Amino acid sequence: MLKGWSLAFLCVLFTLTVVCSQSIEDEFSNPCTNADSCGQCMQISPICAWCGQEGFPRSLKRCDIVQNLEKTCNLTDITNPKSTFKEVKNAAWTSGGLDADPIQIKPQELEFTLRPNEPVNFKLKFRQQENYPVDLYFLLDLSYGMARDKEAQKRLIALGHDIGDKMKIITNNFRLGFGSFVDKLLMPYSAWTDTMLDDRCPKDPCRKPHDFRNEVDLGTDYSLFSTKMQAALESISQSLDDAEGGLDGVIQALDCDRIGWREKSRRIIVYSSNSLFHLAGAGKLGGATKQSNLQCSLDADGFYKDEKIYDYPSVSQVASKLREKNANIIFAVMEDVVNDYRKLSAFLDGSVVGELENNSKNIVELINNKYYELRSRIKFEAKNADFVDVKFKSKCRGNVLKETAMCENLEIKESVEFDVTLTVDKDICKGKSGEVIKEVVLDAVGLNETLVVRLNVTCNCQCEASNEEELNSPKCFNGNGTFQCGVCECNPGRYGRNCECDQTEISSEESLRKCRMDPNNTLTCFGRGDCICGQCECYTLSLNSKLEYSGEFCECNDYSCSFGPNGLCGGKKRGVCNCGKCVCLEGWSGHNCECSTDQSRCVASTGTICNNNGTCNCGKCDCDEGSKWFGPTCEECPNCPTQCSEHFACAECTFHFPGTLTREECDKQCPNVEDVDELKESDGVQKCQGKATSDGCTLYFTYEYMDNNEVLIKVQKTKRCPREAPLAAIIGGTVAGIILIPLLIICLCIFIRNRRDAKEYADFLKDKNKARWESGANPIYKDPKSTFQNPTYKGQGGM
Ligand SMILES: *[C@@H]1O[C@H](CO)[C@@H](O)[C@H](O)[C@H]1NC(C)=O
Ligand SMILES: *[C@@H]1O[C@H](CO)[C@@H](O)[C@H](O)[C@H]1NC(C)=O
Ligand SMILES: *[C@@H]1O[C@H](CO)[C@@H](O)[C@H](O)[C@H]1NC(C)=O
Ligand SMILES: *[C@@H]1O[C@H](CO)[C@@H](O)[C@H](O)[C@H]1NC(C)=O
Ligand SMILES: *[C@@H]1O[C@H](CO)[C@@H](O)[C@H](O)[C@H]1NC(C)=O
Ligand SMILES: *[C@@H]1O[C@H](CO)[C@@H](O)[C@H](O)[C@H]1NC(C)=O
Ligand SMILES: *[C@@H]1O[C@H](CO)[C@@H](O)[C@H](O)[C@H]1NC(C)=O
């Protein structure tokens, strides 16, 4: 029993294995087989390899799944480059001392050789280091509404000390700078006559408005910051509209080297304003028609020179400048405009918005909080990643791995890890050859720290390199092509496996059309041959066979007919196989030409074929269905009464002399009669019985035809004579049979049913007491859904 089960289990396992291994060869799940050259093969998928063996069987695909090729191709001829990985630079984490550059990202440089569509994985670690350098540039709106308040002025002047002290707690590597802005000195944004200015600043003296001015370069002299701030606030200014030119200031502050941003530092602009900002297009109204060039242009006093030439920057221009400079912005703005800045901030990576109170009371706190928000967040961005799919995954500070490029709330000295997956699209190879080199930069937003990933993408095979190919090789039709990786790359105007076809004689489209039996059938030559200049050259049936497919479109297999005992189609003397069907030679017929057409054995004693009651097939009579005739020539008729009664007289006269025949008649008419102990049945022997004329006993006999077509009769020596049956037994039996037995059966049925009902009722009562059915859980209800799992299905597309 156990053996039986394990055998069955083995069978199932085997079937599964066969099914699964076959699916690898399945045309649909094998993406490789469409490639015509080694390079194409490399670009399809990393599971594909190329066989460059000379004389590789035509019927096999040179580009195939590696496991398949290993069975058919000489191992030394298989091209299947493996991806390689090199850590070029992986310096240790360092904190931001005053002299050394900080390192927060590990590793810093990687190099991969890989094929298109081949994903590569690596880990990227980020650690918040202490004393990371911070460059903070304060960009102040000097318009009347913002800076007029005496309280606010005092706070801004004190900012230098306050912020310096606060930041020292966070980093010992802190620089502070300061710039101011109002608006472009152009109508309709700003006033420039004294009357106009007086109108706009009713109480205090106003000075001429300016667009952007760099007041203090980034540095550690915080008192200079305060002095300059005081000077700037002494004469505030005013524009005419309620929006200012602050974004001009942002661009200038970011782009100007003289401001003194350090290469490796967290760059922060604190943008403080109470009004909206002008955007691209607005400048045109005043005559600044050129699109902002995003270039630094400051005069000796730090004023923006080109304010009247270039328009305000657009949001996307600001965003790209921020990215380029890896800078952050803290918008410290007043309540009535805070929502507008939130909308702007949504477009700017590395920006945050904070609400400034009326008299700038909370300015230091705000900078502190927002600095923490920027600092505690790490986000990666892939630059120069066209044709490359980059995926980041991280657990951040939790336990769940999710797809994200950003982690938040990191503490100092805390590290997070990202799983990065890069996949190169094969389009990167378009129009290129050999190895395509791509440098993807994984950039930490707001920090000038990167991981550079150099990808050497294999777009071609080594054997396609110019030093390995054979130009105008004799292997390619008298030098009409280049021989490389085992195949011919045809010169212009030629095509075909060995470049044997001339485009001017028959176009390749025409050629392919001619090789299709049905123009709508996409397979040329049924997939069993090569289309050579419009003609199919059929493959051999199997690898080591000399037999080939045949037919104009290789649609035929001349070796797929059934094999009889004498060979294909009964052997060479009987028939030949043509396109899967036996064509029989003369004298033979049948599926396998196994039948002789000779009908002599079907001739009945009457001289007709099968007694006219059948057909002669393959030298044998098939008697008509439904007719009473049977036998080798359809001459027998067991149910024909005439036959038995015809011979009865002869049978009877042996036993019951005299019967219907006299002794003389008997001897004369019945020459072949025998007495036997037991009648034997066999083909051609007919059983008969009949009632003897004299005593009414039943007589058993058989008759058969002898070779000379005479009849031989055999009679059983014992006969059966009737006895008188007792009447009572007959009547009793009849009554019992008709009435009593059915009655008994009915009673039994009723008894059994009652017993079962009683038991079920008892069970029901028992269950009823026991059951504590939860409401809604009906025990009788069965979910109509059920899940069936297909055991042969494998999620990974057959691999
Ligand atoms: C396989 O390669 C070896 C070495 O190049 C060669 O000797 C052998 O003949 C090759 N076999 C076939 C079947 O091409
Ligand atoms: C980032 O640092 C590199 C040196 O590591 C420097 O060459 C580059 O200019 C810096 N980038 C910016 C935007 O300053
Ligand atoms: C801010 O100042 C304006 C005018 O100076 C005043 O109307 C407003 O109530 C003040 N808001 C707060 C929150 O103090
Ligand atoms: C990748 O390409 C570069 C530039 O050609 C080369 O220096 C480097 O050795 C290549 N790396 C690999 C692993 O082939
Ligand atoms: C190409 O084929 C043509 C036609 O068979 C032949 O005349 C010629 O020599 C072959 N070679 C080159 C290099 O054209
Ligand atoms: C091929 O397809 C077209 C459109 O589906 C149909 O009209 C045409 O009859 C088809 N030809 C054959 C030979 O089946
Ligand atoms: C069948 O055979 C019998 C006896 O030879 C003959 O009489 C009869 O005509 C045959 N039936 C047919 C349909 O020819």
Nearest CA to ligand 5 atom 8: 478
- pLDDT tens column, 581-637: 888 988 888 888 888 888 888 888 878 888 888 888 888 888 888 777 877 788 877
**Ligand lying closest to the C-alpha of residue 323:** 2
Who has greater pLDDT, 594 or 429?
429
Question: Does an H or E element contain 112, and which?
Answer: strand 109-114
CB 614 within 8 A of CB 629: yes
Find the 440 Cα to ligand 4 centroid distance in Å: 15
Q: What is the pLDDT of residue 483?
A: 92
DSSP string, 373-420: HHHT-EEEEEES-TTEEEEEEE-TTSS--EE-SEE--PPTT-EEEEEE
Q: Give the closest residue to 242 by CA, choosing from 146, 363, 317.
A: 146
Contacts 24+ apart (CB under 8 A), 362-365: 363/155, 363/156, 363/159, 363/272, 363/332, 364/159, 364/162, 364/163, 364/166
Q: Is the CB of 480 under 6 A from ligand 5?
A: yes
Find the 116 Cα to ligand 2 centroid distance in Å: 31
- DSSP alpha helix (H) spans, 308-362: 315-325, 338-345
**Ligand lying closest to the C-alpha of residue 444:** 2
CATH topology of domain 24-81: ligand-binding face of the semaphorins, domain 2 (3.30.1680)
In this structure, the residues whose C-beta lies within 6 A of any atom of ligand 6 are 518-520
Nearest CA to ligand 6 atom 11: 520
86 CA closest ligand 4 atom index: 13
Secondary structure of 486-509 in HEC code, one letter for each residue? CEEEECCCEECCCCCEECCCCCHH
In this structure, the residues whose C-beta lies within 6 A of any atom of ligand 2 are 263, 325-326, 448
Domain span(s) for CATH 3.30.1680.10 in the chain: 24-81
Q: What is the pLDDT of residue 636?
A: 77
Tell me which of 361-375, 626-640, 732-746, 761-775 is least confident. Answer: 761-775
Q: What is the pLDDT of residue 543?
A: 77
Specify the CATH superfamily of domain 563-596: Laminin (2.10.25.10)
Q: What is the pLDDT of residue 126?
A: 95
Judged by DSSP in three states, 755 sits in: helix
**At residue 737, what are phi and psi to the nearest 5 degrees?**
-65, -40
**Mean local confidence (pLDDT), 478-500:** 91
76 CA closest ligand 1 atom index: 2
261 CA closest ligand 2 atom index: 14
Find the 390 Cα to ligand 4 centroid distance in Å: 21
Q: Is the CB of 409 under 6 A from ligand 5?
A: no
Find the 262 Cα to ligand 2 centroid distance in Å: 8
Q: Give the closest residue to 228 by CA, choosing from 302, 291, 290.
A: 302
Q: Is the CB of 611 under 6 A from ligand 7?
A: yes
Find the 502 Cα to ligand 5 centroid distance in Å: 10
Who has greater pLDDT, 592 or 22?
592
54 CA closest ligand 1 atom index: 14
Q: Which residues pair with 407 in a beta bridge?
A: 378
Domain span(s) for CATH 2.10.25.10 in the chain: 563-596
CATH topology of domain 134-375: Rossmann fold (3.40.50)
Tell me which of 85-94, 563-572, 675-684 is least confident. Answer: 675-684
Strands 685-691 vs 698-705: parallel, antiparallel or unpaired: antiparallel
Quickly state the pLDDT bin for 779 (edges 50, 70, 90): very low
Find the 684 Cα to ligand 2 centroid distance in Å: 110
Quickly state the pLDDT bin for 423 (edges 50, 70, 90): very high
Strand order in the sheet with 63-65: 63-65, 48-51, 78-79
Q: What is the pLDDT of residue 161?
A: 81
**Mean local confidence (pLDDT), 351-369:** 86
Quickly state the pLDDT bin for 118 (edges 50, 70, 90): very high
Alpha-carbon distances, residue 164 vs 140, 170, 221, 224, 618 (angstroms): 17, 10, 9, 12, 114
Q: What is the pLDDT of residue 444?
A: 92
Q: What is the pLDDT of residue 156?
A: 83
Residue % of the chain over a pLDDT of 70: 83
What are 687's two structure tokens? Answer: 């059983």
Residue 99 half-sphere exposure, CB side, CA atoms within 13 Å? 0
Judged by DSSP in three states, 124 sits in: strand
Q: Is the CB of 171 under 6 A from ligand 7?
A: no
Q: What is the pLDDT of residue 14?
A: 45
324 CA closest ligand 2 atom index: 13
Q: Is the pLDDT assigned to residue 738 strictly greater than 90?
A: no
Nearest CA to ligand 5 atom 9: 478
Strands 327-334 vs 351-356: parallel, antiparallel or unpaired: parallel
Domain span(s) for CATH 4.10.1240.30 in the chain: 641-716
Quickly state the pLDDT bin for 21 (edges 50, 70, 90): very low
CB 340 within 8 A of CB 366: no
**Ligand lying closest to the C-alpha of residue 356:** 3
CATH topology of domain 84-128+381-460: Immunoglobulin-like (2.60.40)
Counting every residue written for the chain, the total comes to: 799
Nearest CA to ligand 2 atom 2: 263
Q: What is the pLDDT of residue 733?
A: 67
Domain span(s) for CATH 3.40.50.410 in the chain: 134-375
Q: Is the CB of 589 under 6 A from ligand 7?
A: no
| Average pLDDT over the chain, rounded to an integer | 82
Domain span(s) for CATH 2.60.40.1510 in the chain: 84-128+381-460
The residue to mutate among 448, 450, 451, having the most atoms of ligand 2 within 8 angstroms of its beta carbon, is: 448
Looking up tokens 């289990």, which residue turns up?
A: 9
**Ligand lying closest to the C-alpha of residue 53:** 1
Q: What is the pLDDT of residue 320?
A: 92
The residue to mutate among 473, 477, 480, having the most atoms of ligand 5 within 8 angstroms of its beta carbon, is: 480
Buried-state track 295-315, b at ≥16 Cβ within 10 A, e below 16: ebbbeeebebebbbebbbbeb
CATH number for region 641-716: 4.10.1240.30
Q: Is the pLDDT assigned to residue 25 strictly greater than 70?
A: no
Q: Is the CB of 472 under 6 A from ligand 5?
A: yes
Find the 632 Cα to ligand 7 centroid distance in Å: 15
Quickly state the pLDDT bin for 433 (edges 50, 70, 90): confident
Tell me which of 117-131, 182-196, 372-386, 555-569 is least confident. Answer: 182-196
Q: Is the CB of 669 under 6 A from ligand 7?
A: no
Buried-state track 594-633, b at ≥16 Cβ within 10 A, e below 16: bbeeebeebebeeeebbbebbebebeebebbeeeebbbbb
